[in-house]
Structure 1
Amino acid sequence: MKTKILILLPLVQSILLFGFLKASCPVYLTISPNGKALYDSSLEVNWGPDCYGPPQWIGIYAQDPTISNFQPELLIPRVAIVNKTGKIITQIKLGKLHFPGGWNRQDTSDPPATRYPTGKCLPHYVASYNGTELLTVDCLKIQPNWMAQNKDVSRMPLKNMFLPGTHASGAVVNRTSKSVLIKDYLQAQLFDVWSQLVFGIRYLDFSVGYKNMATNDDSDNFWLVNENMFLQPLVGVLRDVLRFVKRSGEMVVLDFSSFPIGFYKHPEIYRSLFYLIRRELGDEAYQRNVTTNELCANRNLQDLLRQNRHVMILFPTQELPHPENESNLICPPWLRFSTSFMNMSQTLDYMRLLFSRKPESPVKDDGWIFTAVRSMEQTLNSHKLQTAKERAAVLNPKVNQWLKGPWGNNANVVAMDYFSNTNLVDLAIQLNAHKAFLMANEDYVNLEILNLC
């Protein structure tokens, strides 16, 4: 007689974990892009997805409500939680932002910045209750060291990781700018690149333009652009990336995705840009094996750290003249997919195609980038010109919600405008832990033990 026993404990634990999360009513904070400036932006209370048992009330606090009986700054009753998934934009402002533990840009490295592998709360908390019973608590948090949280994540190929990213990462308005065009239609992020990285973003999308500034330093001629307008010099942003990876020990994927101004039929300008990147980031750039035409997305975080490298640079090598096009400091671009010209229904169908990973999906076994954005032209086609903030306010929560289902397990890079009105980083951390858990325990699933009598 044979008895077949399936050892499924890790899989059962995973199912129970995600079943519990789905059955509960998660509540979290995000930042609305509705303010005229960063400090004037409002906090958003979010709940769901699939909040079947809403709490009796939700409170927002300026201090951790688990350590004392503080009074909430704002109380939201159950009657306001009308859907299974939703959000409320509050009147509470973000205020002046200060990062703890040495994570402000101007902080020195002496003493070293505090490591926060599980995140560090800023003074904005949200908690849900039934009567006086605390159900959930969360906070607005920075995640400067989240990749160190789970050692199994560092063993995953980059193509299997969920990397939270930003689109038009450098499209941040200077405080002195008075241009309505820039503020309403060209700005794409509330936070500068340094702050994006501190919050946990690990993929940056750079569109670069060339403008002759008539200076002795050619690096002054390279600017980050959006919608074909110059926004800020590139070199300062590259130095922020370098400063961050040295301080954090984290890995960042840097994607030079487009070159809309000044590059066409000018390989010498591409070469000058390559020299600038090599000068600023060469000591931290991952060195791929060019003789085997290595796919950089097959590497994992451990591979980079073994080289003591923390930046992976994606660059269209075919635009560079020889021998720069064979440099081991740059990786060929990953596949890119965008929702720029799609309405919400088309976006949902497109995500279903991409994230299903079925044979008909254009996603292949390599690194790929999903850019969840809507362009100005798309809103013009719908006979209403929306600002960039309005577009992100509609699109981001939907995409974020859809990724919380099974699709998120197939995500690689997800890049957004105004990522701060989602919990994209927390979502990526949770799903990477789930992926790493399954990868580390895959040998224990469906193991047959035969008992011969």
Structure 2
Amino acid sequence: MQKGIVLLLLHVFCDTVLAGQCEKVWVTVSSLWRPIAACDKVVDAELEINWEFDCPADTKYSDTQIKVFTADPLAAHNKMIKPELILTSLQRPRGYYRTNITVGRPPLPGGWDTKDGAALPGPHCLDYYAILYKDGHIFSMACLQIWPTWMYDMRREIGMLPIGSLMIPGTHNSGCYKHGDLTRRDAFQRYLLTQDRDVWTQLVHGIRYLDIRVGYYPSIPNGTALDEEGNHVSRFWVNHDVIRITPLSEILKDVRNFLDAARGEVVIMDFHRFPVGFEGRPNRHRKLIAILHREFEKLILKPDRGVEGLGPTLNDIWTGGKRLIICYGDKHVVNDYDWLWPPLTQVWGNQQTVEGLFEYLDEEILRSKRRKNSQNPLWAVMAELTPFPLDIFFNLSGGLRQMADSVNRNLTVKFQEEWWKETNIVATDFFLGNDLIWVSRMSNIKKSNIAQWRL
């Protein structure tokens, strides 16, 4: 009884401390775009300001305002900088504001913009800041931030957690992103693209789970993309369903470069489906696996087959030095390779409304307590909306960008307040539209504190 009371008090304490004060502000990037008159170009990636006042009911917000800056306002050389935007009269306890400040695709700070250069560990801010003031005093501050080394940065706090108990931020259809600037022509791809940053940038921001679907195209010119065993790398593509989007070689290169640069981070590559060119062709699976083994041999973490539990701890992984988990969505192929992890369970609701998705996730995340998979301790919440075929044909839902916009900001609050406790992996569309990387980091600290008191 006494231990239960201590755990309850610890849980309340963690929630209070990690939330800071009752006012919180954070910045995201909109997935929406808008056209420019008489031009093929569009405006996209606009900054969003979000706030949450988890305060007593009688708290007054009349003296509360948020100032938005495009440089660090607390830096000594920026003391005279003026805000780009001031939000006042924040009467509602929760809200967001989409600005007309375009983030675009800026260089990544801390040396992380070059994939083969020296990079600094720890978090780094891009030049977009929001400060929440109350009665003229700073109560909360946030920047648009990258977390390239967050796992190893937090090794003292979360190193003892098993990989299957961590909350891990991920992306859905990770390789389906736009190459170059967005144009009006991309309106025709409104149901194909699910991300607006390449895989390198996703990983640098803090994403650690990649959802990949691969197609094989024998008629694509071979070029010189051959591996040591003569496999044609250029014939493998990352698909969105049956449509090829990005060469697989591009994804593999980004993952390898990141693992080399961020030497304490653990990445999960989930080769979840093979929608084109693999049916009844086991030799093509073997070709793909040969490419993966050649590229990542010294980094691949083998699974503990048949061992129940939540998998190795981060400390165990760091001790062994193998930091890449490759899950493979064909159980027959997995049986032939001891370094492939069995198919990973994706909790996918096939929902078209925010209400339907949240009802589904409420039930499924609660079921996670009863979910047992001795083959693979990892599982993923696919927290995005799915269009019906008629939606795509008639554009009834406006495209994946609008669908992501309707759900992402609500996901931040739900995972922060409720779903973090049981969630393992969470994958979203247009991940910069939510704050789940930050939520994952804070949730893992809470999980670690609770786990230590249970010992």
TMscore range, shorter length: 0.7 to 0.9
Per-residue CA shift, 1:408-431, capped at 9, x if unaligned? 111100000101100010000000
**Is 1:120–1:143's contact at 8 Å kept on the other side of the alignment?**
yes
2:251 is aligned to: 237
1:93 to 102, 109, 115: 102
Structure 1 residues 133 and 437: alpha-carbon distance in aligned structure 2, compared to 1, 3 A threshold: same
1:336 is aligned to: 346
2:37 is aligned to: none
Local SS of the residue matching 2:72: coil
The letter for the 1-side match of 2:33 is G
Structure 1 residues 383 and 189: alpha-carbon distance in aligned structure 2, compared to 1, 3 A threshold: closer
Q: TM-score, normalised by structure 2?
A: 0.86
Per-residue CA shift, 1:38-88, capped at 9, x if unaligned? 98411000011646644621001122233435321110112xx34322211
The letter for the 1-side match of 2:9 is V
Q: Is 1:166 matched up with 2:180?
A: no
* Equivalent residue runs for 1:219-368 within 5 Å: 219-249=233-263, 250-289=265-304, 292-294=305-307, 297-320=310-333, 325-357=335-367, 366-368=377-379
Local SS of the residue matching 1:155: coil
**Structure 2 Cα separation of the partners of residues 106 and 251 of structure 1:** 17
When structure 1 is superposed on structure 2, of 52-61 and 32-41 the one drifting more is 32-41
Structure 1 residues 397 and 177: alpha-carbon distance in aligned structure 2, compared to 1, 3 A threshold: closer
Q: Is 1:142 matched up with 2:146?
A: yes
Local SS of the residue matching 2:190: helix
Per-residue CA shift, 1:283-323, capped at 9, x if unaligned? 2111234xx53469511222222221111000034342xxx
- How far has the Cα of 1:336 moved from its partner? 1.2
**Structure 2 Cα separation of the partners of residues 407 and 85 of structure 1:** 18
* Equivalent residue runs for 1:126-205 within 5 Å: 126-150=130-154, 151-175=156-180, 179-180=185-186, 183-205=189-211
Structure 1: state its 5+ residue gaps: 444-453
Structure 1 residues 40 and 396: alpha-carbon distance in aligned structure 2, compared to 1, 3 A threshold: closer
The letter for the 2-side match of 1:34 is L
**Structure 2 Cα separation of the partners of residues 45 and 235 of structure 1:** 36
**Structure 1 Cα separation of the partners of residues 190 and 358 of structure 2:** 26
- How far has the Cα of 1:362 moved from its partner? 5.1
Structure 1 residues 429 and 358: alpha-carbon distance in aligned structure 2, compared to 1, 3 A threshold: closer
**Structure 1 Cα separation of the partners of residues 197 and 278 of structure 2:** 28
* Equivalent residue runs for 1:355-434 within 5 Å: 355-357=365-367, 366-377=377-388, 380=391, 384-434=396-446
Aligned length: 427
When structure 1 is superposed on structure 2, of 186-195 and 324-333 the one drifting more is 324-333
**Structure 2 Cα separation of the partners of residues 408 and 379 of structure 1:** 34
Local SS of the residue matching 2:299: coil
The letter for the 2-side match of 1:436 is S
**Is 2:169–2:425's contact at 8 Å kept on the other side of the alignment?**
yes
2:31 is aligned to: 33
- How far has the Cα of 1:357 moved from its partner? 3.7
1:446 is aligned to: none
- How far has the Cα of 1:440 moved from its partner? 1.8
**Structure 2 Cα separation of the partners of residues 90 and 379 of structure 1:** 32
The letter for the 2-side match of 1:18 is D
Identical positions, percent? 24
2:216 to 210, 213, 218: 210
Local SS of the residue matching 2:164: helix
Structure 1 residues 182 and 332: alpha-carbon distance in aligned structure 2, compared to 1, 3 A threshold: farther
The letter for the 1-side match of 2:210 is L
- How far has the Cα of 1:5 moved from its partner? 7.1
Structure 1 residues 207 and 183: alpha-carbon distance in aligned structure 2, compared to 1, 3 A threshold: same
2:22 to 21, 24, 31: 24
Local SS of the residue matching 2:130: strand
**Structure 2 Cα separation of the partners of residues 88 and 141 of structure 1:** 18
The letter for the 2-side match of 1:204 is L
1:114 to 103, 112, 120: 120
**Structure 2 Cα separation of the partners of residues 387 and 226 of structure 1:** 14
Per-residue CA shift, 1:211-262, capped at 9, x if unaligned? 1224263111000011321111101211110110111121001100111111
Structure 1 residues 92 and 309: alpha-carbon distance in aligned structure 2, compared to 1, 3 A threshold: same
**Structure 1 Cα separation of the partners of residues 4 and 357 of structure 2:** 40
**Structure 1 Cα separation of the partners of residues 315 and 147 of structure 2:** 19
**Structure 2 Cα separation of the partners of residues 346 and 39 of structure 1:** 31
1:70 is aligned to: 81
When structure 1 is superposed on structure 2, of 208-217 and 231-240 the one drifting more is 208-217
- How far has the Cα of 1:208 moved from its partner? 0.6
Local SS of the residue matching 2:250: helix
Structure 2: state its 5+ residue gaps: 35-40, 227-231
The letter for the 2-side match of 1:205 is D
**Structure 2 Cα separation of the partners of residues 208 and 87 of structure 1:** 37
Local SS of the residue matching 1:198: helix
**Structure 1 Cα separation of the partners of residues 329 and 453 of structure 2:** 37
Q: Give the structure, 1 or 2, with the largest relative contact order (CA under 8 Å, sep 6 or more).
A: 1
Q: TM-score, normalised by structure 1?
A: 0.86
- TM-align CA RMSD: 2.8
The letter for the 2-side match of 1:326 is D
Structure 1 residues 375 and 19: alpha-carbon distance in aligned structure 2, compared to 1, 3 A threshold: same
**Is 1:105–1:194's contact at 8 Å kept on the other side of the alignment?**
no
- How far has the Cα of 1:121 moved from its partner? 1.1
